[in-house]
Amino acid sequence: MTTARALTEQALESAVLGMYTDVAAQPDKEYHFWSGRPAAERFGYRAEWLDAAPLPAVESFAGVGNPHLHLEVPSGATIVDLGSGAGLDLFIAARRAGPTGRAIGVEMNEDMLRKATALARERGYATVEFRKGRIEEAPVADGCADVVISNGVINLSFRKKKVMAEAFRVLRPGGRASLTDVVSESLIPDSIRNDPKLWAS
């Protein structure tokens, strides 16, 4: 990798880390994207899912859509969430999979990870675990997942093909992926792609 590219990627990643540290620690702050319960309601999350989930996970929700909307989560399913943030989607999926299911979140931001892990422990989500890692090299075994979800994360990666390859690697044959993300219908100019603030949003 050229030095210039490495430096740009470093700056982009540090902007992404900073942005979601803020979302973990200060969910009430005003962001330029929808967040928290109002965002989840806008995306059609069922009230009973939000009411049952840990409140701090709802408050720090920063997804861009609703991966549960058209998704069946069979009882006993193993779910992997790529870029799990404060954990809302994983807590919902874990309840849907029931006590014989398993739910694994992969997250690179220490503050999000700490928050989600504490919530799982404090609220008795025994089937939920959050692992520190990058979604480009997810710390999850091949073929272990019945369901892969991801919400608002792939757009933040500069190795999107690798992320998709990882989603397929961790899925078992016949498993399902439900990915909600931001897409652009036209090529984004370098002036935007290389601006850490715009990338992180």
User: Which residues in this chain contact ligand SAM in the complex, by CB under 6 A?
Assistant: 16, 20, 61-63, 83-85, 88-89, 106-109, 112, 134-136, 151-153, 156-157
Strand-pair category, 78-82 with 145-151: parallel
Q: Which is nearer to ligand SAM, 7 or 76 (CB)?
A: 7
Mention every residue, 6+ apart, whose C-beta is less than 8 A from residue 94. Answer: 79, 101, 103, 125, 127, 128
> How far apart are CB 159 and ligand SAM at their closest, in Å?
8
Question: 191: burial class by Cβ within 10 Å (0-12, 13-18, 19+)?
Answer: exposed
Q: Which is nearer to ligand SAM, 16 or 93 (CB)?
A: 16
**∠ CA 198-38-63 to the nearest 5 degrees?**
45
> How far apart are CB 51 and ligand SAM at their closest, in Å?
17
> How far apart are CB 144 and ligand SAM at their closest, in Å?
18
Q: Which is nearer to ligand SAM, 56 or 83 (CB)?
A: 83
| Torsion, CA 57, CA 58, CA 59, CA 65, rounded to 10 | 110
Q: Which is nearer to ligand SAM, 33 or 99 (CB)?
A: 33
> How far apart are CB 99 and ligand SAM at their closest, in Å?
24
Q: How far is residue 12's CA from residue 10's CA, in Å, rounded to a whole number?
A: 5
